[in-house]
Amino acid sequence: MQAPSPVPWHTLSAEDALRRAGSSTQGLNENEAAARLLRDGPNTLKGSQRQSVWSMFLQQLQNVLMLTLLAAAVLSFILGHTLEAVAISVIVVFAVILGFLQEFRAERAIRALAEMAPPLAKVRRGGKEFLIPAEEIVSGDVLMLSAGDRVPADGRLLFSAVLQLEESSLTGESLPSDKDAGAVVALDAATGDQSTMVFAGTTVSAGRGEAVTVATGMQTRFGGIAALLGGVAGVRTPLQDHLDRIGTILARSALLIVALLVIAGFFRGQPFLEMLVFGIALAVAVVPEALPAVVTISLALGVQRMAKRNALMRSLPAVETLGSTTVICSDKTGTLTRDEMTVRVVHTSGVNVAVSGTGYEPSGTFSLDGDTGMPPSLHSLLTAAMLCNDARLEKNDEKGWYVAGDPTEGALLVLGRKGGLDELELRRQHPRLDELPFSPELRRMLTQHSFQGKMRLFMKGAPETVLAACSEVLLSEGSASLDASMRRELLEVADAFAGRAMRVLALAEKWDGEISGSVSGMTFLGFAAMIDPPRPEAAEAVRRCRSAGIRPLLITGDHPATARAIAGELGMAGEGDVVTGRMLEEMDEEDLSRAVQSASVFARVSPEHKLRIVEALQLHGEVVAMTGDGVNDAPALKRADIGISMGITGTDVAKEASDMMLTDDNFVSIVDAVEEGRGIYENIKKYLSYLLSSNMGELGLMVAATLTGLPLPLSAVQILYVNLATDGLPALALAVDPPESDTMLRRPRKRDAGVFSRAMVALLLGGGIWSAVVNMSLFLYALDSGRPLREAMSMTFASLVLIQFFKAYAFRSQRKSMFSRPFANRWLNLAILWELGLLAVIFVVPVFHEPFGIYPLSREDWLLVALVSLTVIPVLELVKFLVRRGVISGYS
């Protein structure tokens, strides 16, 4: 391989860099790009290791409990209980396989999530712009960068417009650094000073730029660092931590009880080694070692379900938080509205010009009331609208006419075309010489073009911003000075459009103007008012929010009247008035705190206001979900309990700061995700209470027998069987239970409420204690009636297993009767059928009798066992009745 040229890229001119990279300003052609991809490999970082299937399997075997159990099997074998030893070993294998499958499933689900949203990058190839997966970028590709983008590869700038990059991941410097394609950079400049270069892993904080790719993948500066770093550490959720702690406490108490039982048994004259085997079996059975894996699985599976409903979770803890969300702060454009803009009216020279046509198809006509001709200012307005514009209007067979870029700007292109202008022609004749890109804080955009040797400046933006920069107005008779009353009238015109739910953009121009931070002396050309209809399904989603005790807030950069009108259409407008960004700035903490409680609509809000709103809401104990798409939304997204970014229109920076990304940018998906989040949490609770209740029933039975001086009612193998075979599958099925129909009719769960609500504890105790009482009574009765111990034990075993089955169905809800949609969980039905089959085999096939200590039961005994175990149903129904009645409160 040829050694790389010694001249560093940052000292080359843009032309030389292009030449060396074998490219041009038009970019590579597709064939060349494909060939380079094959030659250089994908633009990805290596180094994140995957756990192999084998190591996951072996990890299961390293589980202390499993090892102890194997030791118990060996002990049994030494003691001469060969069949028992085999049974224990088979159960171990079963448990290891189940454990492995759980871990494997969880790991795969989580990995699939990571691969679900590959980063995209904008490149120019063969003169056309494409959005491609960042990993397909090759050296020579021309990258198109704008505010909020993550730079996908190292590149030499070809063009820059007030471009600033945040390079802290490389240089540690958190202030953005200025970039300039035309700068001359010293040979020995440090990375942070190479202002002609952009580097992979950094982000664009402002402006626009284009760069030719000079290094990809591990060849980039970031690749060099990434190689040192290795994989990403797994994040644990608060619930997982909480359950880990509960698991440890339970394990310790269970082990203590078991130890006491073993010692008691020993003093009562049972052989020590046999008691030890029993003790180990009991310990393994009651220690909830599958807990963490099951929680991960239900989280991960839930996350997959959410993905199907267009919400990609970027962090597992957020899944839990989602369920307790109390406020959803949503922006308007695209989330609650369709983001399909159509200009309906143009106001220029004091007249309203109506525009016909729908969507982005550039066919439609202009019409005026009365018979006056079109005002001459219209032409200037359309020219400004098309030149001060970065969007492109395109058409294909699949989508018809569509906009590449900002829909607001797309609508202005359509408007210009309806007026007979052609933006491509205009852009060719009057190329852009300078620009100030749009920013949501300043709400305006400026461009500079040459017209017959003269400079002409165009501005477009929010009416009040543009009017503030104007001192003249273009009228039919020529330009006139813009006095205060005229300015007020114009603002009223804009307000009236906004009051009809329209978004209003103002346009202005200035001959011989230069671009600077504070532009003034411009000439006002007019307004373009466009509709952006609400999404049809959004009103229903707003209603669902309300019935679920969640307050939806509209927070938008748009005009207050537009915001209020849309909020009204969606049923979001609350009691309070619309609060504007300017009002927010004047409020102290107390006023703000009051405002966020009463107002539902915030307009003309800048990203930094969003941060204040989140903080004020959080001070009231609200759990806040907040949407955002721009680079400056990142702090608010990070601060919110659930930061939500837009998958389609969002910037990379916003996506990275968020916990959840909407693949369809739709408000409805947020509400769906909350519903899933609630369901997931409920399911984990169902699983947990079933498991604990079972263990309590079994331990209670053993303790009662020991305390009353009776023989042990279950053998080691039986107890292992009940826990590892009988309980395992139904418990897992509960973890994937379909959500209850009233999930979105309850108030949000309190975040700090913990998993153990009173209702849950009541159900858990009721089931556990009743199971112990019933089985103990049955055992006593069987012994009393003169049945041999083995028969009494078999009856107790059968009754315990059946009680577990009934409990599994009952634990599907803490509140509703088990007879409402009893068989809705397909997995639970299958699990129970399979378990019933197994039980039948154990009782019917003689080979299993010895190892499982089975005595074949008579028909009468079965009837008795069935009747006795059925009693658990009314007991649990009673508990639920008390919960519904509010006697047992604290239901969440």
Catalytic residue numbers read 331
Residues in 239-268 at the binding interface with ligand ATP, rule: CB under 6 A = none
Question: Which residues lie closer than 8 Å to 683 by C-beta, 6 or more apart?
Answer: 298, 302, 734, 735, 736, 737
| Structural tokens at position 434 | 């300078």
Site mask for ligand ATP (CB under 6 A), range 274-313, x = bound: ----------------------------------------
Q: Give the 3-state secondary structure of residue 122.
A: strand
State the minimum distance, in angstroms, from the CB of residue 607 to ligand ATP: 8
Q: Could you say which of 125, 347, 444, 685 contacts ligand ATP (CB under 6 A)?
A: 444
> Alpha-carbon distance 587 to 610, whole Å?
14
> Alpha-carbon distance 870 to 848, whole Å?
26
440 interacts with ligand ATP by CB under 6 A: yes
State the minimum distance, in angstroms, from the CB of residue 639 to ligand ATP: 17
Residues in 371-400 at the binding interface with ligand ATP, rule: CB under 6 A = none
Applying CB under 6 A, the span of 158-166, 329-337, 361-369, 798-806 interacting with ligand ATP comes to 329-337
| Structural tokens at position 414 | 């359509």
Beta carbon nearer to ligand ATP, 298 or 408: 408
The Cβ of residue 495 has, within 10 Å, a number of other Cβ atoms equal to 16
Beta carbon nearer to ligand ATP, 167 or 331: 331
Beta-bridge mates of residue 457: 448, 510
Residue 4 sits at φ, ψ, to 5 deg, of: -65, 150
Applying CB under 6 A, the span of 145-153, 312-320, 554-562, 580-588 interacting with ligand ATP comes to 554-562
E strand spans, 257-326:
311-313
State the minimum distance, in angstroms, from the CB of residue 408 to ligand ATP: 4
Q: Could you say which of 122, 314, 332, 551 contacts ligand ATP (CB under 6 A)?
A: 332
Applying CB under 6 A, the span of 315-323, 441-449, 482-490, 748-756 interacting with ligand ATP comes to 441-449
Phi-psi region of 405 (alpha: psi -120 to 50; beta: other; left: phi over 0): left
Q: Could you say which of 213, 237, 408, 718 contacts ligand ATP (CB under 6 A)?
A: 408
Residue 552 sits at φ, ψ, to 5 deg, of: -85, 130
E strand spans, 9-72:
none
Applying CB under 6 A, the span of 91-99, 193-201, 224-232, 557-565 interacting with ligand ATP comes to 557-565
Structural contact between residues 646 and 629, judged by C-beta atoms closer than 8 angstroms: yes
Beta carbon nearer to ligand ATP, 217 or 650: 650
Please tell me the number of Cα atoms within 13 Å of 824 on its side-chain side.
16
Q: Report which of 212, 202, 299, 283 is spatially closest to residue 250, judged by C-alpha positions.
A: 283
Structural contact between residues 270 and 715, judged by C-beta atoms closer than 8 angstroms: no
Q: Report which of 346, 353, 357, 347 is spatially closest to residue 373, judged by C-alpha positions.
A: 353
Beta carbon nearer to ligand ATP, 281 or 671: 671
Applying CB under 6 A, the span of 84-92, 509-517, 553-561, 728-736 interacting with ligand ATP comes to 553-561
Q: Report which of 658, 629, 545 is spatially closest to residue 312, judged by C-alpha positions.
A: 658
Applying CB under 6 A, the site for ligand ATP has a residue count of: 20
Q: Could you say which of 140, 461, 766, 768 contacts ligand ATP (CB under 6 A)?
A: 461
Residue type, 40: D
Residues in 639-678 at the binding interface with ligand ATP, rule: CB under 6 A = none
Q: Could you say which of 460, 639, 655, 812 contacts ligand ATP (CB under 6 A)?
A: 460
Residue type, 306: M
Beta carbon nearer to ligand ATP, 445 or 764: 445
CA angle, residues 585, 589, 593, in degrees to nearest 5: 100
The Cβ of residue 225 has, within 10 Å, a number of other Cβ atoms equal to 13
Q: Could you say which of 136, 409, 675, 740 contacts ligand ATP (CB under 6 A)?
A: 409
Phi-psi region of 126 (alpha: psi -120 to 50; beta: other; left: phi over 0): left
Q: Report which of 360, 493, 427, 406 is spatially closest to residue 147, judged by C-alpha positions.
A: 406
State the minimum distance, in angstroms, from the CB of residue 637 to ligand ATP: 13
556 interacts with ligand ATP by CB under 6 A: yes
Beta carbon nearer to ligand ATP, 208 or 444: 444
Beta carbon nearer to ligand ATP, 467 or 505: 505
Applying CB under 6 A, the span of 377-385, 404-412, 541-549, 761-769 interacting with ligand ATP comes to 404-412
Applying CB under 6 A, the span of 150-158, 366-374, 555-563, 812-820 interacting with ligand ATP comes to 555-563
Q: Could you say which of 505, 561, 776, 839 contacts ligand ATP (CB under 6 A)?
A: 505
Structural contact between residues 201 and 172, judged by C-beta atoms closer than 8 angstroms: no
Question: Which residues lie closer than 8 Å to 811 by C-beta, 6 or more apart?
Answer: 686, 689, 690, 693, 734, 763, 767
Beta carbon nearer to ligand ATP, 503 or 880: 503
Q: Give the 3-state secondary structure of residue 287.
A: coil
State the minimum distance, in angstroms, from the CB of residue 237 to ligand ATP: 30
Beta carbon nearer to ligand ATP, 412 or 671: 412
The Cβ of residue 235 has, within 10 Å, a number of other Cβ atoms equal to 10
Helix, strand, coil tally for the chain in percent (to 5): 50, 20, 30
167 interacts with ligand ATP by CB under 6 A: no
Burial of residue 64 (number of CB atoms within 10 Å: 0-12, 13-18, 19+): exposed
State the minimum distance, in angstroms, from the CB of residue 390 to ligand ATP: 8
> Alpha-carbon distance 379 to 752, whole Å?
61
Q: Could you say which of 84, 135, 331, 675 contacts ligand ATP (CB under 6 A)?
A: 331
> Alpha-carbon distance 709 to 693, whole Å?
24
Beta-bridge mates of residue 454: 451
406 interacts with ligand ATP by CB under 6 A: yes
State the minimum distance, in angstroms, from the CB of residue 563 to ligand ATP: 8
State the minimum distance, in angstroms, from the CB of residue 434 to ligand ATP: 16
Applying CB under 6 A, the span of 24-32, 101-109, 277-285, 439-447 interacting with ligand ATP comes to 439-447
Q: Which residue has the tokens 């046509």?
A: 357
Residue 475 sits at φ, ψ, to 5 deg, of: -120, 175
509 interacts with ligand ATP by CB under 6 A: no
> Alpha-carbon distance 767 to 806, whole Å?
10
Q: Could you say which of 328, 462, 634, 722 contacts ligand ATP (CB under 6 A)?
A: 462
The Cβ of residue 664 has, within 10 Å, a number of other Cβ atoms equal to 16
Closest-by-Cβ residue to ligand ATP is 557
Beta carbon nearer to ligand ATP, 99 or 607: 607
Q: Could you say which of 100, 130, 438, 681 contacts ligand ATP (CB under 6 A)?
A: 438
State the minimum distance, in angstroms, from the CB of residue 461 to ligand ATP: 4
State the minimum distance, in angstroms, from the CB of residue 330 to ligand ATP: 8
State the minimum distance, in angstroms, from the CB of residue 209 to ligand ATP: 18
Q: Report which of 291, 285, 292, 277 is spatially closest to residue 804, judged by C-alpha positions.
A: 285
Applying CB under 6 A, the span of 40-48, 233-241, 402-410, 722-730 interacting with ligand ATP comes to 402-410
Beta carbon nearer to ligand ATP, 503 or 749: 503
Q: Could you say which of 559, 655, 686, 880 contacts ligand ATP (CB under 6 A)?
A: 559
Phi-psi region of 238 (alpha: psi -120 to 50; beta: other; left: phi over 0): alpha
* Contacts to ligand ATP by CB under 6 A: 331-333, 406, 408-409, 438, 440, 443-445, 460-462, 503, 505, 556-559
